[in-house]
Amino acid sequence: MGRKEAHIIVLGNEKGGTGKSTLAMHIVVGLLDAGKKVAVIDLDARQKSVARYLQNRQTFMANGGTKVVMPEFSVISQSEAPMLKDRELEDQKSIIKALSEYREKMDFVVFDCPGNDTYLSRLAHALADTLVTPLNDSFIDLDLLGEVSPTDYQVKKLSFYSEMVWDSRKFRSASGKPPMDWVVTRTRLASLDSRNNKRVHLALKSLQKRIMFRYVPGLYERVIYKELFPSGLTILDLEKVNSMSHVAARQEVRTLIDNLNLI
């Protein structure tokens, strides 16, 4: 019997700076820690956040740092062909080529999408077994999913992004694949149990029924999620965690990964 194909995880939304790349790194390290084989494909060739994170990780080890688990990784740049049709064809070929390298030998392939609508990002969404959409804790970010009434949290209109995910789901079911698991989570939560926090929480609970995603607990705003970038490490890599805040950070990352139901 052949090996099972890699499970595809896509970190996506159409808004910049919501924590996709940060979350991608933590999910990747969590899966590697669990002994899984993981490859990362960075579709944001302008910023290359995840690829840079991983290069920093390699440099950290090359400079004598403790040995840490590494995924395989590559970056795909958008085609610059003059004709739209050719650009789309080239983008399709790039994704197929990268996947053909990883699909058979990896347990997971993680795509990190840019924070805007690109054809590469659409292709990745159509391939996602699990789609993870991080949002910041604000009603502006909720607009990314749909227009929600601020008084009774009823959904008035779906966003372009939700429509796009819906199309990806239709494409999957037409090709006989099991349904995509769409997971929405909040990142950069304020540490106080603020009124805004509660309202966004209620709105997401209301939206999840209508748009059919799973809303799971996310990450608080913590310095530890950004200060390790230069060394390419994450809270999961640290041998010793001393402060209460670091213990809590590690726990919330683990809970989030558990809630993705991947392992």
Give CA–CA dist 257/219, Å, rounded.
Answer: 11
Q: Select 27 or 39, whichever has its Cβ closest to ligand ATP.
A: 27
Q: Select 17 or 179, whichever has its Cβ closest to ligand ATP.
A: 17
22 binds, among Mg ion, ligand ATP, none (CB under 5 to 8 A by kind): ligand ATP
In the bound state, the residue with its beta carbon closest to ligand ATP is 115
CB of 33 vs Mg ion, minimal distance in Å: 22
Q: Select 44 or 107, whichever has its Cβ closest to Mg ion.
A: 44
Distances (CA, A) of 98 to 41, 144, 171: 8, 29, 21
CB of 9 vs ligand ATP, minimal distance in Å: 14
User: φ, ψ for residue 215 (rounded to 5)?
Assistant: -95, 115
Q: Select 21 or 136, whichever has its Cβ closest to Mg ion.
A: 21
| Among the listed residues 167, 147, 261, 138, the one whose alpha carbon sits nearest the alpha carbon of residue 210 | 147
Q: Which residues bind Mg ion (CB under 5 A)?
A: 20-21, 49
Give CA–CA dist 130/109, Å, rounded.
Answer: 10
Give the pair of three-digit tokens for residue 198: 């509660």
Distances (CA, A) of 24 to 110, 234, 241: 7, 11, 21
Distances (CA, A) of 137 to 27, 120, 184, 199, 224: 20, 27, 12, 10, 18
Q: Are 31 and 260 in contact (CB under 8 A)?
A: no
In the bound state, the residue with its beta carbon closest to Mg ion is 21
221 binds, among Mg ion, ligand ATP, none (CB under 5 to 8 A by kind): ligand ATP
Give CA–CA dist 14/164, Å, rounded.
Answer: 10
| Among the listed residues 214, 229, 227, 224, the one whose alpha carbon sits nearest the alpha carbon of residue 251 | 224
Q: Select 180 or 228, whichever has its Cβ closest to ligand ATP.
A: 228
Q: Which residues bind ligand ATP (CB under 6 A)?
A: 16-22, 44, 47, 49, 114-115, 187-188, 219, 221-222, 225-226
Q: Select 22 or 79, whichever has its Cβ closest to Mg ion.
A: 22
222 binds, among ligand ATP, Mg ion, none (CB under 5 to 8 A by kind): ligand ATP
130 binds, among Mg ion, ligand ATP, none (CB under 5 to 8 A by kind): none
